[in-house]
């Protein structure tokens, strides 16, 4: 009975060993695939960000021009209203002047004179408001012209950058799609906790390497020496070993050799 239990334990150990090895192979494959995706995106360079910045600038200029145009409409409406007010005041002045010819006493004459004076002051105020609104409208029209010129330049730049980006994307799209699919397949073979750790290490690593091999007894990421016992543990594939200096996941030559393009 004890012998059977011992055999069972050996089988379980082998299953665990195979499972860890498969995880390491999946991790190394995922790293290679993600590194290729990184190279494709690096080839595109800053173009996607440049396109986004230009799109934002174009949208901002269009909004700015729209706001300027609304201001211009408001000033035009104000000028029209002031001109109407002037005509109304002029009509009242004419009416009051005619009434002055038929007054019966000085009190009525003085009262009408004050009304005429009030309307004249109102005309002067309206004329001042018209001059101010006209000046502001002309200033805004200048800004609109400058913004429209800038907008046309940015639109041309955007079209050129988009064409350049689309050309590069077209060259690499199929390859990237295939790599992304393979990356997803590899992620499906890795437990969530380990995958989260991989992505965290990769994010913090300057070169995006979270899984590295051993090169001349040293970590392939930070190049610090790995103790012999750790190297032995890495080769047995019984557990996931990380570099004690940089935290990268370490794999041995056997895992690397098993990797298939």
Per-residue confidence (pLDDT) for residue 16, from 0 to 100 = 43
Per-residue confidence (pLDDT) for residue 8, from 0 to 100 = 35
Give the bridge partners for 115, in sequence order.
none
Whether the per-residue pLDDT at 5 is higher than 60: the answer is no
What is the tens place of the pLDDT at every residue in 53-80? 999 999 999 999 999 999 999 999 999 9
Q: What is the percentage of the chain residues whose pLDDT exceeds 70?
A: 93
Compute the distance between CA of residue 249 and CA of residue 240 in angstroms, rounded to an integer.
7
Per-residue confidence (pLDDT) for residue 69, from 0 to 100 = 96
What is the pLDDT confidence band of residue 157, given thresholds at 50, 70 and 90? very high
What is the pLDDT confidence band of residue 84, given thresholds at 50, 70 and 90? very high
Per-residue confidence (pLDDT) for residue 55, from 0 to 100 = 96
Compute the distance between CA of residue 174 and CA of residue 52 in angstroms, rounded to an integer.
23
Give the bridge partners for 125, in sequence order.
none
Whether the per-residue pLDDT at 46 is higher than 80: the answer is yes
Which H or E run includes 249? strand 249-251
Phi, psi of 249 (to 5 degrees): -75, 130
Per-residue confidence (pLDDT) for residue 242, from 0 to 100 = 93
Mean residue pLDDT across the chain: 88
Per-residue confidence (pLDDT) for residue 173, from 0 to 100 = 86
Per-residue confidence (pLDDT) for residue 259, from 0 to 100 = 81
Per-residue confidence (pLDDT) for residue 138, from 0 to 100 = 95
What is the tens place of the pLDDT at every residue in 180-237? 999 998 898 888 999 999 999 999 988 899 999 999 999 999 999 999 998 999 999 8
Sorted by where each starts, the structural domains of the chain and their CATH numbers stand as 2-44+191-258 (no CATH), 47-185 (1.10.287.1490)
pTM for this predicted structure:
0.56
Per-residue confidence (pLDDT) for residue 42, from 0 to 100 = 86
Whether the per-residue pLDDT at 238 is higher than 90: the answer is no
Phi, psi of 239 (to 5 degrees): -155, 165
- Comparing 16 with 51, which gets the higher pLDDT? 51
Query: Do 251 and 212 form a contact (C-beta atoms < 8 A)?
Result: yes
- Comparing 5 with 52, which gets the higher pLDDT? 52
Q: What is the mean pLDDT of residues 105-109?
A: 89
Query: Do 158 and 204 form a contact (C-beta atoms < 8 A)?
Result: no
Residue with tokens 């390859």, as numbered in its chain: 175
Q: Which of 8-12, 89-93, 157-161 shows the lowest per-residue confidence on average (mean pLDDT)?
A: 8-12
């Amino acid at each position: 009975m004890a012998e059977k239990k011992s055999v069972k334990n050996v089988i379980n150990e082998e299953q665990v060993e195979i499972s860890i090895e498969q995880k390491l192979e999946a991790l190394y494959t995922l790293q290679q695939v993600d590194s290729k995706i990184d190279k494709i995106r690096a080839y595109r360079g800053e173009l996607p960000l440049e396109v986004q910045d230009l799109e934002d600038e174009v949208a901002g200029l269009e909004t700015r021009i729209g706001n300027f145009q609304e201001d211009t409409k408001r000033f035009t409406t104000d000028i029209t209203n002031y001109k109407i007010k002037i005509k109304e005041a002029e009509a009242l002045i004419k009416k009051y002047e005619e009434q002055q010819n038929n007054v019966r006493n000085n009190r009525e004459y003085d009262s009408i004179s004050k009304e005429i004076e009030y309307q004249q002051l109102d005309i002067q105020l309206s004329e001042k408001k018209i001059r101010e609104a006209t000046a502001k409208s002309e200033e805004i029209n200048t800004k609109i012209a400058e913004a429209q010129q800038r907008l046309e330049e940015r639109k041309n730049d955007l079209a050129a950058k988009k064409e350049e980006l689309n050309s590069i994307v077209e060259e690499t799209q199929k390859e990237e799609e295939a790599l992304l699919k393979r990356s997803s397949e590899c992620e499906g073979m890795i437990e969530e906790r380990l995958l989260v750790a991989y992505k965290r290490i990769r994010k913090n690593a300057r070169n995006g390497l979270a899984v590295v091999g051993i090169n001349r007894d040293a970590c392939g990421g930070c190049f610090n020496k790995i103790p012999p016992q750790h190297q032995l543990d890495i080769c047995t594939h019984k557990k996931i070993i990380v570099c004690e200096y940089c935290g990268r996941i370490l794999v041995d030559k056997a895992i690397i050799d098993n990797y298939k393009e």
